[in-house]
Amino acid sequence: MTANPRVAFFDVEADAPWAAAPYGADHAPKLERFFARTGPLAGRTLLEPGCGTGRLTEILARAVGEHGAVHACDISPRMCAAARERLGGLPQATVSLAAMERLPLAPASMDLVVCHQVFPHYEDKAAALAFVARVLRPGGALLVMHFRDRAAINDVHRKAGTVVEQDMLPDLEAMDALLTAAGLRREYFSDDATLGYLLHAVK
């Protein structure tokens, strides 16, 4: 692992409620909207970079079932350890201690890439999306989800006074430019204070 200051930051955060607390009732409509975009996942192969403690990963692993696969990864050893413990009984899920961009995945091997509450933290967003586009099969999808809206996320980061204070979710115009440059096309976008942020792009 390189000397990425975000690794130390997220390691310390692995026990924080925002990272480890079980999802509550307020998350249900957000997840419902997410699964309305993914469609049925049984048997699908997914990548979830920046899985944290694996709360969404567990839901995804159950959704793909025993004939599917979820490749999760995170740069933080403590986040990975928590995710592995959570996912212990689900062999269809694997957790790699790695930055997404370093995963040895075959081109066109993924049906879906889920970036859940991680996109602002990619230092090189163009390179991250180029990687996503490379590993997606033609017709595969990218979902970028946050449980809060863009304004709230960027405000939290801006005021954090930590290594994440410049980690911003781009505005839609910039996001579209990044997607297009990577060979992806936006199909759906919603960003509001109630349901948070969801962007769906296809290859």
Q: Which residues bind ligand SAM (CB under 6 A)?
A: 6, 10, 19, 49-52, 55, 73-76, 79, 99-100, 116-118, 121-122
Structure tokens at 48: 């979830």
In the bound state with ligand SAM, the residue whose beta carbon lies nearer, of 21 and 185, is 21
Count CB neighbours of 65 within 10 A. 14
> What 8-state DSSP symbol labels residue 121?
G
In the bound state with ligand SAM, the residue whose beta carbon lies nearer, of 74 and 191, is 74
User: DSSP characters for 5-28?
Assistant: HHHHHHHHHTTSHHHHSPP-GGGH
CB distance 115 to 177 below 8 Å: no
Tell the smallest beta-carbon distance from residue 69 to ligand SAM (Å): 18
Count CB neighbours of 192 within 10 A. 11
Tell the smallest beta-carbon distance from residue 52 to ligand SAM (Å): 3
In the bound state with ligand SAM, the residue whose beta carbon lies nearer, of 117 and 138, is 117
Residue nearest to ligand SAM as judged by C-beta position = 52
User: DSSP characters for 140-185?
Assistant: EEEEEEESS-HHHHHHHHHTS-STTTT--PPPHHHHHHHHHHHT-E
Tell the smallest beta-carbon distance from residue 91 to ligand SAM (Å): 21
In the bound state with ligand SAM, the residue whose beta carbon lies nearer, of 157 and 200, is 157
Tell the smallest beta-carbon distance from residue 2 to ligand SAM (Å): 10
Q: What is the torsional sign of CA 4, 8, 14, 18?
A: negative
Tell the smallest beta-carbon distance from residue 76 to ligand SAM (Å): 4
In the bound state with ligand SAM, the residue whose beta carbon lies nearer, of 127 and 185, is 127
